[in-house]
Amino acid sequence: MEYSFATLITLPLSLSLSFPLSLALSLSSQEACRNEEMWRLIDRDGKPPGVLGVWPSRAVTFIDNHDTGSTQAHWPFPADKVLWGYAYTLTHPGMPSVFWDHVFDWGEDVRGKIAALVEVRRRCGIHSRSAVRILTAEGGCYAAEVDAKVCVKIGRAGWQPHDEGKWALACSGDGFAVWTKA
């Protein structure tokens, strides 16, 4: 039996990864991070780009996999901004994937920050249909609020949630920060 992509994504309890769309999102994120062009992380309707903005419950998000990064290195995510990518994918809707190499081969600091971001996602109940409100996406700063429980900032420009007393810093590193409701 043959299935088209449209059939696969409408079957109950099924999921289809459209590699071209995921690759477009991934490359958009890479360019946004590599060149600090955060405008790439918002579409004309104020939503995240690609499948994530249109159908987040069907979006498998990733920053690297065995085809893009690792030893093949066809389109690797910028190494100095890998945690920016995880700050984005792990705090946003969709179904994020964490690349084995980043957890087990990139050292304790990267592993610890990925673990902290996964814990934020779990503790705050972020899921594939979570609501994203993009607060800014320009120049060197992307900031969003997810489910009114998490704020994330990516980029070197300064930004923090407005009601400082209502937010607690949960995880941060060079060029990214994640806050949860206090």
- At residue 135, φ and ψ (nearest 5 deg) are -90, -35
Contact of 30 with 75, CB cutoff 8 Å: yes
Res 82: pLDDT: 87
Average per-residue pLDDT for the chain: 82
Q: Write the pLDDT tens digit of every residue in 93-140.
A: 988 888 888 888 889 999 999 999 999 999 999 999 999 999 999 989
Strand ranges of the sheet holding 167-173, from the earlier edge strand across to the other edge? 132-138, 141-146, 150-154, 176-181, 167-173
Q: Are 89 and 132 in contact (CB under 8 A)?
A: no
Q: What is the mean pLDDT of residues 159-166?
A: 89
12, two tokens: 């109950």
H/E element, 142: strand 141-146
